[in-house]
Amino acid sequence: MTSQTVLITGAGIGIGKATALAFGRVGYRVIVTDILKDEGRAVAETLLGEGASAEFLSLDVSSTKQCDAVVRDIEDRFGALDCIVNNAGIAHKVPLDELSDDKWDHTLDVDLKGMMRLARAAAPKMKARGSGSIICLSSIMGVAYGWDSHVHYSAAKSGVVGLVRGLAVELATSGIRVNGVAPGYIRTAQALSEEHSLGPAGLEAAASFIPMGRVGEPEDIADVIVFLASDAARYLTGQVITVDGGLLVGRY
């Protein structure tokens, strides 16, 4: 896999970081991107220290100009991307009566439109080559549950499911597969946030109603993402796989 290149958004922390490390350890050239520059550079340095091929590029997925420029830069140096992992996202707790148009638009701009921007930028070269994999992160809050004070987030993550399905159908004849992952309760900075999510105590309490008896770790999601990018998933497209320790099937 030494010639294969993956671009991962939001790769400075959490699931994105774990995914970058996982791809590096199976031989990919890893393009770590994030708005968190210090964290992103640290991930790239870790990969380089492990002998992987990696670099950090600053990227705000809400900017079409930046998305286009980053993809062009990678293609000019390495050719068409083999895989994009659309992981970057935000989840701010905002009750409906405080949810302004700007707050709504910002969440959808990052969590949904950002994914479209990168797919749109990378698809022409992928199509010309006849292969590629695009993987988008949804959430259980987008495929099954509502989330009070996060209706903008739930709407965006539901939109990811539609994005995956639409892109999968449109790009399948060009050899490009598009799939998604919907994580359950995962130990990330987002979930651990007292202000915007469960907080440490709430996250630990979630383990009591997860059939597997624990909350997930970022690596649990990263390994599924690497599988979706691999040839082992060669006949799989248009699917959003829920990775939640049995939560959705185990709550009655």
- Provide the annotated active-site residues: 153
Q: Alpha-carbon distance 218 to 162, whole Å?
A: 24
- Could you give the 3-state DSSP secondary structure of residue 202? helix
Residues in Cβ contact with 106 at an 8 Å cutoff, skipping those fewer than 6 apart: 62, 90
Is 195:215 a contact under the CB 8 Å cutoff? no
Residue 95 Rama label (left phi>0; alpha psi -120 to 50; beta)? beta
Distances (CA, A) of 131 to 8, 60, 128, 145, 230: 18, 26, 8, 34, 12
Start-to-end C-alpha separation, the chain: 43
DSSP string, 209-247: GSTTSS-B-HHHHHHHHHHHHSGGGTT--S-EEEESTTH
